[in-house]
């Protein structure tokens, strides 16, 4: 919210018109801010769920929450962090930063962009509304049938999950098409593909994964929904169905999804490291290609999530081998990052600390990943806390730290003010220590025999102390996030004014004022090199005032109306009311037509 202030205040607009302008905005920067703020709130909710989980597990035999509540909490923690926090936090950067990095005035389809955001918001609210009905999803974020079939989960819980995820899928897909086209088509003259900043490149790979992976989970979810609502037999063994169908479809989506979560953070790190090493990224092309390769190979490894299901030794071996292969491009990225700093001048500003933390922690997560890429060894690891440790090293140590690096790095661009360095460092170190306290013991907790997703454990296991350490670590992370929030609040008033380029960075977004004017670039830049601000061949300066008037599209309320139609349809499905679904469908159709025919020049 703090970020929006400057621009709006200038107009001295009334509250109503401010709200209306945000509701109808099609400006990628505002949508980026909406994504960021919304996702951060969901991040806090997911974090709160994690803290309750850790409090429950602080010692054996605890009864802080019931088994039922615990199962809801870990299901929602996973679902929230993946779909409502990490993905949309990345989306906030896609929205805000990518057009600036490629020298564009907006995304290719500004209204579709607004639509994506509203659908995401409604989907997230729908999922979390389940708590109000005491029926939060409780089948795990992976929702394996037949546990999630009507017979074993008769309540609304799984309905919320199945429908919520489909809604969120629409948001992701719409954004995916938009950004693929934006990056390919809206590059400024001279911005060749191999001049794109690595963050933009990783965004492109991510969006390709989104548009190919989400249809697969949509199909799996539709089957489950049909089974639950209409009595089809997709996941019914009695009818001859196979429960592994879901697992294959889910992980066919689920593994690319892992890269959807991590690649943007890798992109951010690849921007931050050169800036604070005062040296260009080492092996730019290799870093780009390894990202592409990770994206492509991500499609060939899904069954490594299924080593215990009994696929047979041949399939197990094949998926072990493909999974190990992915370690190679990942390793290559890490070595290139190290080489970027080699011989540089490493400045320990907050974004850099988070980027370094990313590398340090991602190495651990990557190595534990190699450990369970080994199908046989994985039989002792899968579904234990060892895997919980692994995913948190890659998703917290990796994705979240990468995102925080991005927040500190681009905050001055977005708000015009630098965040407080001292608070930033407190945030980093507390979170770094907390993270290692929380997640490092989990490796041992798992190897010493604690399965995942258990609401309580026996004192006989001897794991009380390690679990307590882990819980303390989790609360340290919680405190570090509070410091971050305080930093945001502090920066709003007292933050040092940033100017165009506080970091003396290389890429295009730093050539324009902070925050950027609504039109971004007063003239569309002519790009002459990969590092426009560092290169010897200087690009033409961008004038402060546009030399000629710039046409900017006005807002549109049809995206939010159309998104609302989808929400009504989803609510109708939850209520099993055909009439409500049809009503929502009608709103959707009206929205699409009005949208298609309203005068809106990009």
The footprint of another protein on residues 460-499 (CB under 8 A) is: 460-463, 465-466, 469, 473
Measured from the CB atom, the residue of 96 and 214 that comes closer to another protein is 214
Stretch that binds another protein, among 1-9, 315-323, 493-501, 545-553 (CB under 8 A): 315-323
Please, what is the minimum distance in Å from the beta carbon of residue 184 to another protein?
6
Please, what is the minimum distance in Å from the beta carbon of residue 505 to another protein?
14
Neighbours of 328 (CB within 10 A): 12
Cis check: omega of the bond before 515, within 30 degrees of 0: yes
Stretch that binds another protein, among 63-71, 85-93, 116-124, 487-495 (CB under 8 A): 63-71
Neighbours of 239 (CB within 10 A): 9
Pairing outcome for strands 417-418 and 496-497: antiparallel
Q: Which of 11, 397, 87 is nearest to 253 (CA)?
A: 87
Contact 225, 148 (CB under 8 A): no
Stretch that binds another protein, among 25-33, 82-90, 337-345, 479-487 (CB under 8 A): 337-345
Please, what is the minimum distance in Å from the beta carbon of residue 128 to another protein?
21
Q: Binder to another protein among 277, 480, 487, 520 (CB under 8 A)?
A: 277
Measured from the CB atom, the residue of 9 and 540 that comes closer to another protein is 540
Q: What's the token pair of residue 557?
A: 């309320």
Measured from the CB atom, the residue of 92 and 173 that comes closer to another protein is 173
User: Does residue 549 belong to the site contacting another protein (CB under 8 A)?
Assistant: no
CA–CA gap between residue 230 and residue 223 (Å, rounded): 10
Q: Which residues within the stretch 350-389 sit at the binding site for another protein (CB under 8 A)?
A: 356, 359-360, 363-364, 367-368, 370-371, 373-384
Stretch that binds another protein, among 175-183, 260-268, 400-408, 478-486 (CB under 8 A): 175-183
Please, what is the minimum distance in Å from the beta carbon of residue 232 to another protein?
4
Please, what is the minimum distance in Å from the beta carbon of residue 13 to another protein?
31
Q: Which residues within the stretch 186-205 sit at the binding site for another protein (CB under 8 A)?
A: 186-189, 191
Measured from the CB atom, the residue of 20 and 142 that comes closer to another protein is 142
Q: Binder to another protein among 33, 114, 288, 437 (CB under 8 A)?
A: 437
Q: Which of 342, 277, 348, 350 is nearest to 504 (CA)?
A: 277
Classify each residue of 161-173 as buried b or exposed e, where b means 16 or more C-beta atoms within 10 Å of its C-beta: bbbbbbbbbbbbb
User: Does residue 529 belong to the site contacting another protein (CB under 8 A)?
Assistant: no
CA angle 411, 119, 26 (to 5 degrees): 55
Measured from the CB atom, the residue of 89 and 303 that comes closer to another protein is 303
Q: How many of the chain's residues bind another protein (CB under 8 A)?
A: 145
Contact 417, 498 (CB under 8 A): yes
User: Does residue 146 belong to the site contacting another protein (CB under 8 A)?
Assistant: yes
CA–CA gap between residue 287 and residue 263 (Å, rounded): 11
CA–CA gap between residue 533 and residue 478 (Å, rounded): 38
Please, what is the minimum distance in Å from the beta carbon of residue 91 to another protein?
17
Please, what is the minimum distance in Å from the beta carbon of residue 316 to another protein?
5
Q: Which residues within the stretch 98-127 sit at the binding site for another protein (CB under 8 A)?
A: 108-109
Contact 437, 398 (CB under 8 A): no
Q: Binder to another protein among 42, 214, 408, 564 (CB under 8 A)?
A: 214
Instruction: Compose the 22-61 pattern: x for residues touching another protein by CB under 8 A, - for all others.
Output: ----------------------------------------
Please, what is the minimum distance in Å from the beta carbon of residue 65 to another protein?
11
Stretch that binds another protein, among 184-192, 485-493, 538-546, 573-581 (CB under 8 A): 184-192
Q: Is 240 left (phi over 0), alpha (psi -120 to 50) or beta?
A: left
Kind plus residue range of the DSSP H or E element containing 46:
helix 28-56
Please, what is the minimum distance in Å from the beta carbon of residue 56 to another protein?
11
Distance, first Cα to last Cα, the chain: 27
Q: Which of 331, 513, 498, 305 is nearest to 408 (CA)?
A: 498
Distance from the Cα of residue 354 to its chain's centroid: 17
Q: Binder to another protein among 23, 64, 292, 339 (CB under 8 A)?
A: 339
Please, what is the minimum distance in Å from the beta carbon of residue 237 to another protein?
4
Measured CA to CA in angstroms, residue 151 lies from 134, 228, 383, 391 at distances of: 19, 9, 24, 31
CA–CA gap between residue 461 and residue 61 (Å, rounded): 11
Instruction: Compose the 220-239 pattern: x for residues touching another protein by CB under 8 A, - for all others.
Output: x-xx--x---xxxxx--xxx
Q: What's the token pair of residue 205?
A: 């790979």
User: Does residue 310 belong to the site contacting another protein (CB under 8 A)?
Assistant: yes
Which residues are registered as beta bridge partners of 557?
Answer: none
Q: Binder to another protein among 3, 116, 401, 436 (CB under 8 A)?
A: 436
Q: Binder to another protein among 34, 173, 261, 474 (CB under 8 A)?
A: 173
Please, what is the minimum distance in Å from the beta carbon of residue 37 to another protein?
27
Q: To 10 degrees, the CA torsion angle through 507, 517, 42, 474? A: 50
Q: Binder to another protein among 2, 64, 292, 447 (CB under 8 A)?
A: 447
Q: Binder to another protein among 19, 184, 578, 586 (CB under 8 A)?
A: 184
Give the single-character DSSP code of 542.
P
Neighbours of 294 (CB within 10 A): 24
Please, what is the minimum distance in Å from the beta carbon of residue 448 to another protein?
4
Please, what is the minimum distance in Å from the beta carbon of residue 455 to another protein?
5
Measured from the CB atom, the residue of 52 and 334 that comes closer to another protein is 334
Ranges of beta strands (E only) in 426-532 are 496-497
CA–CA gap between residue 602 and residue 105 (Å, rounded): 10
Q: What's the token pair of residue 142?
A: 């992976």
Measured from the CB atom, the residue of 40 and 409 that comes closer to another protein is 409
Q: Which residues within the stretch 409-428 sit at the binding site for another protein (CB under 8 A)?
A: 425
User: Does residue 243 belong to the site contacting another protein (CB under 8 A)?
Assistant: yes
User: In degrees rounded to 5, what are phi and psi of residue 418?
Assistant: -80, 140
Q: Which residues within the stretch 255-274 sit at the binding site for another protein (CB under 8 A)?
A: none
User: Does residue 538 belong to the site contacting another protein (CB under 8 A)?
Assistant: no
What long-range pairs does 320-325 form, CB within 8 A, spacing at least 24? Answer: 320/373, 320/374, 320/375, 322/297, 323/369, 323/373, 324/370, 324/373, 324/374, 325/297
Contact 103, 511 (CB under 8 A): no
Instruction: Compose the 66-85 pattern: x for residues touching another protein by CB under 8 A, - for all others.
Output: xxx--x--------------
């Amino acid at each position: 919210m703090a970020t929006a202030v400057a621009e709006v205040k200038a107009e001295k607009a009334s509250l109503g018109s401010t709200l209306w302008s945000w509701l109808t905005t099609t400006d990628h920067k505002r949508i980026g801010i909406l994504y960021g703020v919304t996702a951060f709130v969901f991040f806090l909710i997911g974090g709160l769920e994690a803290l309750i989980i850790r409090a429950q597990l602080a010692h054996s035999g605890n009864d802080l929450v019931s088994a039922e509540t615990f199962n809801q909490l870990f299901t929602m923690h996973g679902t929230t962090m993946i779909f409502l926090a990490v993905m949309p936090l990345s989306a906030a950067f896609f929205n805000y930063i990518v057009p600036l990095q490629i020298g564009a005035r907006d995304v290719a389809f500004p209204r579709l962009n607004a639509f994506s955001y509203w659908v995401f918001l409604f989907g997230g609210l729908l999922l979390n509304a389940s708590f109000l009905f005491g029926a939060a999803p409780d089948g795990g974020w992976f929702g394996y049938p037949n546990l999630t079939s009507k017979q074993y989960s008769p309540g609304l819980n799984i309905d919320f999950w199945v429908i919520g995820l489909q809604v969120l899928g629409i948001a992701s897909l719409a954004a995916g098409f938009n950004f693929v086209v934006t990056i390919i088509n809206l590059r400024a003259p001279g911005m060749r593909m191999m001049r794109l900043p690595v963050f933009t490149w990783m965004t492109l790979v991510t969006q390709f994964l989104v548009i190919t992976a989400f249809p697969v989970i949509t199909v799996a979810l539709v089957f489950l929904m049909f089974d639950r609502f209409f009595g089809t037999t997709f996941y019914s063994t009695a009818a001859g169905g196979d429960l592994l169908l879901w697992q294959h479809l889910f992980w066919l989506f689920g593994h690319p999804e892992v890269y959807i979560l991590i690649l943007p953070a890798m992109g951010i790190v690849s921007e931050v490291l050169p800036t604070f090493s005062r040296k260009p990224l080492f092996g730019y092309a290799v870093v780009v290609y390894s990202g592409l390769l990770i994206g492509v190979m991500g499609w060939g490894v899904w069954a490594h999530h299924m080593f215990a299901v009994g696929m047979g030794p041949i399939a197990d071996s094949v998926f072990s081998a493909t999974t190990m292969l992915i370690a190679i491009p990942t390793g290559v990225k890490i070595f290139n990052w190290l080489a970027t700093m080699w011989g540089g001048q490493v400045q320990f500003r907050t974004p850099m600390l988070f980027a370094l933390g990313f590398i340090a922690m991602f190495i651990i997560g990557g190595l534990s990943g190699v450990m369970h890429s080994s199908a046989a060894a994985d039989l002792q690891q899968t579904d234990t806390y060892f895997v919980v440790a692994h995913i948190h090293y890659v998703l917290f140590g990796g994705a979240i730290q990468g995102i925080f690096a991005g927040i500190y790095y681009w905050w001055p661009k977005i708000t015009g003010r630098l965040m407080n360095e001292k608070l930033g460092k407190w945030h980093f170190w507390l979170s770094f220590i907390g993270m290692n306290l929380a997640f490092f013991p989990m490796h041992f907790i798992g190897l010493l025999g604690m399965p995942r997703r258990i609401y309580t454990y026996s004192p006989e296991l001897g794991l009380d102390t390690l679990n307590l350490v882990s819980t303390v670590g989790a609360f340290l992370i919680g405190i570090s996030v509070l410091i971050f929030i305080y930093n945001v609040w502090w920066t709003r008033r007292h933050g040092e004014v940033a100017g165009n380029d506080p970091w003396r960075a290389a890429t295009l977004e730093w050539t324009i004022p902070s925050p950027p004017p609504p039109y971004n670039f007063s003239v569309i830049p002519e790009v002459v090199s990969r590092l426009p601000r560092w290169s010897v061949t200087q690009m033409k300066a961008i004038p402060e005032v546009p030399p000629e008037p710039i046409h900017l599209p006005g807002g549109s309320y049809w995206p939010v109306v159309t998104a609302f139609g989808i929400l009504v349809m989803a609510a109708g499905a939850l209520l099993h009311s055909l009439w409500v679904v049809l009503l929502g469908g009608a709103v959707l159709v009206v929205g699409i037509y009005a949208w298609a025919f309203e005068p809106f020049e990009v």
